[in-house]
Chains A and B, each alone.
Chain A
Amino acid sequence: MISLILHRVTRVIIHILLIFSIFLLLKGHNEPGGGFIAGLMASVSIVLVYLTYDIETVKRFMPISYPAMIALGLFFATGMGLGGVVLGYPFLTQTFDYFQIPLVGEIELATALIFDIGVFLTVVGATLLIISSIGEGS
């Protein structure tokens, strides 16, 4: 059974949902959100595409291998940790600073964000990998 409303709506809101998940990721340090929540949010959005259309559409929409995504996520997380080691700090030391950017104003950049991106990618990769392999396998 094909639901026309669901099809049309999904086409539009999937972009909003994904942008919102990235918003959650970036805002996480100061407001509700963060890598884990954002990752789940993005996964759920993509699952929506999967439920509305089919696995082929998801693959066309997001031509990424999930295991590679997991690997990339872990690479970000551990890479951030090892970066500190190279500079002579203990593993996983975090730091942050504030920068003035013209027109935008003061923004904060924290190394924790790199780690959070790692968390985000791992969560998305793992969740989608599980859902897609169970969906495909059965």
Chain B
Amino acid sequence: MFSVLWVVFIPFIFAALTPLIQKFIGEDRIGLWGVIAALLSFGGVLSLAGYGLGDEPLYVIYEWAPTFGLTLGFYIDGLSWLFAFLISGIGVLINLYAYWYLHKPDPFGRFFAYLLFFMGSMLGLVLSSNLIILIIFWELTTISSFLLIGYWSHTERARYGAVKSILVTSVGGLAMIGGAVILTVITGTAEFPELIKKAAFIQEHALFFPILLLLMLGAFSKSAQSPFHIWLPDAMEAPTPVSAFLHSSTMVKAGVFLIARVHPIFSGREEWILLIASIGLITMVLGAYYALRKVDLKAILAYSTVSQLGLMIMALGFADVLGAKATAFHIMNHAAFKGMLFLVVGIIDHETGTRDISRLSGLRFTMPKTAVLAFIGAFASAGIPLFNGFLSKELIFEAAYDQIGVASWMAVFPVFAVVGSILTFTYSMKIFFRVFYGEEAKELPKHPHDPPFGMLFSPGLLAAVTVIVGILPFIAERFVNAATAAITQQPADFYLTIWHGFTPALWMSVVTVAIGIVLYSRKALLEVLHSKPPFGLTVNAMYDWWYPNIMLGAEKLIGVFQSQKIRFYFMYILGMVVVLCGWVLIRDGHFRFIPHDLMHAETYEYLGALAFILATIGVALFRSRLAKVISLGVVGYMLCATFIVLRAPDLALTQLLVDIVTVILFVLVIYFLPQLKEVKESLSVKIRDLAVAGLTGAFVTVFVLAVYAHRHTTSVAEYFLDNAYELAGGTNVVNVILVDFRTFDTLGEIIVLAIAGLGVYALVRMGVAHKKKKDSSI
């Protein structure tokens, strides 16, 4: 029970403690702190393996704010456990790799704090049992991804990439919140196990498609599906360990995870197949095509990731057991080989100083160990037998081929799956042969050599997994079966083998490799693919047009509200109060005025009220500031007197003291303020101000009379009066309300007070420092 919270919150706690620990163990060694956090989390995940790989999922709920029905629930089944296993396991390797990868003057502590922050968010995302909680963690991963992409914030490209990623994924995230809200409203629950039980109801519902579409917009934008794929290549400005972790093996799979998670709820209607399989298919082919055109190794891998995510999403779109199984297997395999390829590219970048494929060649002589790793990664990505990528890709082929039986038009899926795979094969070969074969490259920024053991360890381990699973696939059987069972909600019992006989899928693989070899070896054919401009109007161009315009629009809109003039702020606030409250008062017919019911007032009370009114008019009319302040003081003391008459000593005391403090503050400040200037206002401005002020006054009067007419309804006051002594042991009800019944409010108030105090302090100090600087410069 303890370990679920442990798994999710250990990274957060460790991230928060990073600055403190850094002081003790030094910046150089803070990477080890990250490794320890990841190891602890990984250990927690392993201890939950019984639920993840067994038949019975674990469903725990922690009460959070039970009064409002808010709970923090975790659901560990084959799917979520598989993801948690990958996230925490690869997290350990990435932290280890980054320990060697980073070098001065980059701030190490910040990097590892962000990385752990991301890891915790991602684990929370996959393990939560509740759609709303999932979305909260989802947005946390967006924020941490933003911070990590912008880690080298001194470069323009990093800032551009960070902003782009957060904007594009937030658009999807907002849509997703809409979908989640509609779903929660119609079903009354956001817990996945409950939603799965109501799957039939949801599929019958008129709002089925809007919900599906909104949720999928979130998933597509996160998983960089076309046309939202544009953020991922620009996210490659992040340090390479981040690209390997977030932008290939874990975060971008959040969309795949969401689709798999809602698979038992939504799949079964045609819209599912049409929407998800089609988008996956388009993205797969486009991504592979773009990858082939790129010369930057990281850009190739970025588009390759886009394409592979499309492949997985397409397979999930088939809404059958085989597609689910293929996806589950490919998620694992892709995390291993693509994560590893990124780390290898990181090594190449680190040791040669460039990632440009046209400048690199013949590295096998100088970096033999790296070459072996790159070979494994590229061949797994290409889908060559004896590497894990082959196995899962063949399963996807098989699932795609089966679709022909469903409807004849669905033959597009196997056909384009092969097309995409041919392109994938070609760029994978390019990654390996262009970089490591041919003439030994000269004039590289650095003299290339194999990296230290620490940097080879993580990709080496992933390479070992790639090969071992590729040769002995039964090792992965339990993982895949458990995840498949979770996606389809049916028991799954498959065997994974290399050889299936001469199946259509095998022939599809043969065709892929054959055409791929032809394509790669014929320079002329490659040239055709390279030279053709993709499209006249690209999504990127649209983004680049949209971004500055939306910023301009936002600035204009904010300019209206943040006018920097206190007069307008007051007008907005008072105007809103009058309009909204007045509207409700009239709409519900609450206004009642019972003259004979009003309290009888003594003569001295009338006199007091008159003084009150005169003093208020004085504040507006007096010309000197001091007279205004004194007049305002009179208003305060009259209010105080009113409280005394109405027998509210606490309020009177408070009002009195507040007034004293206010007057003192005014006197302190007044000496330094410039003389009041006579401002000639136009008649229309005067009328406008008079209207706002007059309406506010009229509204408050009407409001108070209405409240008074309704005083016979039961009020909360009686409860407080009856229970103050019994429940809180106090006879001063005002104080009991402040410190016992409504403690939370009071806590909020003193926090506001504290912030206000510190704010004034900081502002004044800044002003003083600024002045001193100015004086000294003269």
Where the two chains meet, the residues of A that have a C-beta atom closer than 8 Å to any C-beta of B are 28-37, 40-41, 43-44, 47, 51, 66-67, 70, 73-74, 77-78, 81, 91-92, 94, 96-98, 108, 110, 112, 115-116, 118-119, 122-123, 125-127, 129-131, 133-138
Residue pair B671, A78 in contact (C-beta under 8 Å): no
Complex: A110 Cα to B740 Cα, angstroms: 10
Chain B contact residues (Cβ within 8 angstroms of A): what range? 35 or more
Complex: A46 Cα to B653 Cα, angstroms: 17
Q: How far is the CB of B750 from chain A (nearest CB, A)?
A: 4
- Name which residue of chain A comes closest to B653, CB basis: A37
Complex: A78 Cα to B650 Cα, angstroms: 24
Interface-centre pick from A73, A118, A119 (highest chain B CB count, 10 A): A119
B758 touches A (CB below 8 Å): yes
Q: How far is the CB of B69 from chain A (nearest CB, A)?
A: 15
Residue pair B757, A127 in contact (C-beta under 8 Å): yes
Interface residues of B in 711-731 (CB under 8 A from A): 728-731
Residue pair A70, B758 in contact (C-beta under 8 Å): yes
Residue pair A134, B764 in contact (C-beta under 8 Å): yes
Complex: A127 Cα to B660 Cα, angstroms: 12
Known interface pairs A40-B658, A129-B760, A138-B671; A73-B729 also in contact (CB < 8 Å): no
Checking A32, A91, A131 against B653 with a beta-carbon cut-off of 8 angstroms, the contacting residue is A32
Instruction: Please give, as numbers and ranges, the residues of chain A lying within 8 Å of B760 by CB-CB distance.
Output: 129-130, 133-134
Residue pair A125, B754 in contact (C-beta under 8 Å): yes
Residue pair B754, A73 in contact (C-beta under 8 Å): yes
Instruction: Please give, as numbers and ranges, the residues of chain A lying within 8 Å of B672 by CB-CB distance.
Output: 138
Known interface pairs A122-B753, A130-B760; A32-B732 also in contact (CB < 8 Å): yes
Residue pair B735, A34 in contact (C-beta under 8 Å): yes
Q: How far is the CB of B770 from chain A (nearest CB, A)?
A: 11
For chain A, what secondary structure do more than half of its interface residues adopt (helix, strand, loop), or is it mixed? helix
- Name which residue of chain A comes closest to B744, CB basis: A92
Checking A34, A94, A118, A122 against B728 with a beta-carbon cut-off of 8 angstroms, the contacting residue is A94
Checking B669, B753, B758 against A123 with a beta-carbon cut-off of 8 angstroms, the contacting residue is B753
Instruction: Please give, as numbers and ranges, the residues of chain A lying within 8 Å of B764 by CB-CB distance.
Output: 133-134, 136-137
Instruction: Please give, as numbers and ranges, the residues of chain B lying within 8 Å of A96 by CB-CB distance.
Output: 728-730
Interface residues of B in 754-773 (CB under 8 A from A): 754, 756-758, 760-761, 764-765, 767-768
Q: How far is the CB of B208 from chain A (nearest CB, A)?
A: 39
Checking B660, B668, B739 against A115 with a beta-carbon cut-off of 8 angstroms, the contacting residue is B739
Known interface pairs A29-B730, A35-B739; A127-B661 also in contact (CB < 8 Å): yes
Complex: A28 Cα to B731 Cα, angstroms: 9
Known interface pairs A74-B751, A138-B671; A28-B732 also in contact (CB < 8 Å): yes
Instruction: Please give, as numbers and ranges, the residues of chain A lying within 8 Å of B735 by CB-CB distance.
Output: 28-29, 33-34, 116
Complex: A78 Cα to B744 Cα, angstroms: 10
Complex: A34 Cα to B738 Cα, angstroms: 9
Residue pair A94, B750 in contact (C-beta under 8 Å): no
Residue pair A37, B739 in contact (C-beta under 8 Å): no
Instruction: Please give, as numbers and ranges, the residues of chain A lying within 8 Å of B661 by CB-CB distance.
Output: 40, 43-44, 47, 127, 131
B665 touches A (CB below 8 Å): yes
Of the A-B pairs whose beta carbons lie under 8 Å apart in the complex, a sample of 30, sorted by A's number, is: A28-B735, A29-B732, A30-B732, A31-B732, A32-B653, A32-B732, A33-B650, A34-B738, A35-B739, A41-B657, A44-B664, A47-B661, A51-B664, A67-B757, A74-B751, A81-B747, A94-B743, A96-B728, A96-B730, A112-B740, A115-B739, A122-B754, A125-B757, A126-B753, A126-B754, A129-B761, A137-B764, A137-B767, A138-B668, A138-B671
Q: Known pairs A33-B732, A126-B754. 4 more at Cβ < 8 A?
A: A47-B661, A51-B664, A119-B738, A127-B661
B649 touches A (CB below 8 Å): yes
Instruction: Please give, as numbers and ranges, the residues of chain A lying within 8 Å of B729 by CB-CB distance.
Output: 29, 96-98, 108, 110
